[in-house]
Amino acid sequence: MTSSPSTPALALTIAGSEATGGAGAQADLKTFQELGVFGIVNLTCIVSFDPANDWGHRFVPVEPQVIADQLEATTAAYGAASGAPQVLDTVKIGMLGSPATIATVREALKDADFKNVVLDPVLICKGQEPGHALDTDTALTEQILPLATFVTPNHFEAESLSGMAIGNVEDLKAAARKIHELSGAAVLAKGGVRLEGADAVDVFFDGETLEVLSAPKVGEVAVSGAGCSLAAAVTAELAKGATALEAARTAKSFVTEGIRNRVASGAPFTALWQGGAGAPPAR
């Protein structure tokens, strides 16, 4: 797919709203905009941190029928049968949050025939009951992971999906290979600040090419929105026609600059600023 400023590529994010603006659908839309893609969001839940309870998550799901309605409207406007000049064929899946939401999204994905399905496999959400969280994780792995064409697990998610402990880059490589074997998708497994060393290291593997992507760490603490923005940047680049590896490289650079220009607040975390990264030059 090619695009121009007057007919930009399209990308959909199916994700939750995060009230402080640092992560979730807000981060996705800002990333899409910075990278020259027309962004669409279908909300799955509303998350607000609770400053009175150690900044844990307050989680409110969107009703499954409302989610289905959003997806119906989006695909009717921009899907393959819509007649739109630019067809929506790329979607990012972020936080789903419940088995009912996962089932609804799965049916929509099966019917919409997306070319690129980028899964940011958000697993446990603080504030959920442990049993519910486990049911959600199981449903995500069984129902959504097989539909993905690109997966972007963080350190914890890579350990959960691969069943492996990840303590170094070699472990991360092995986990990326394992997740590809399970899903058939291209994988960008994120070590980030979780692995020791001066560099934030991620590993790309698509079944043929294995590449280690590294950049000097910007601090030793994770930044809110980094994972969401990385997956959204991959999504935007795929929507514009990049290969999976090209998308991974651009996303890594984009997020590194966004972390470097992070935004502080009264919360005990900082947030990535997509505007600090800026869109890379056109290929």
Average pLDDT over residues 185-193: 95
Question: Looking at the chain, how many residues does it have?
Answer: 283
**Does residue 220 surpass a pLDDT of 90?**
no
* pLDDT at position 171: 98
The answer to pTM > 0.85 is yes
Show the tokens assigned to 272. 């990535």
Residue 158, CB-side half-sphere exposure with 13 Å CA sphere? 32
What integer best gives the mean pLDDT of the chain? 91
Q: What's the distance, CA 280 to chain centroid?
A: 19
- Residue 131's pLDDT is 44
Once rounded to an integer, what is the mean pLDDT over residues 141-147? Answer: 96
What percentage of the chain reaches a pLDDT higher than 90?
A: 82
Q: Residue 215: pLDDT above 80?
A: yes
Give exposure, 60-69, as e/b (b: 16+ Cβ within 10 Å): ebbebeebee
pLDDT attached to residue 278:
54
The pLDDT of residue 280 is 46
- Rounded to the nearest angstrom, the gap between the alpha carbon of residue 205 and the centroid of all alpha carbons in its chain is 17
pLDDT band at 3 (very low <50, low <70, confident <90, very high): low
Q: What is the largest CA-CA distance in the chain?
A: 51
Question: pLDDT tier at 277 (50, 70, 90 boundaries)?
Answer: low
Residue 111: per-residue pLDDT: 84
Please give the torsion angle defined by the CA atoms of residues 202, 102, 82 and 233, in that order, rounded to the nearest 10 degrees. Answer: -20
pLDDT tens-place string over residues 45-82: 999 999 999 998 899 999 999 999 999 999 999 998 99
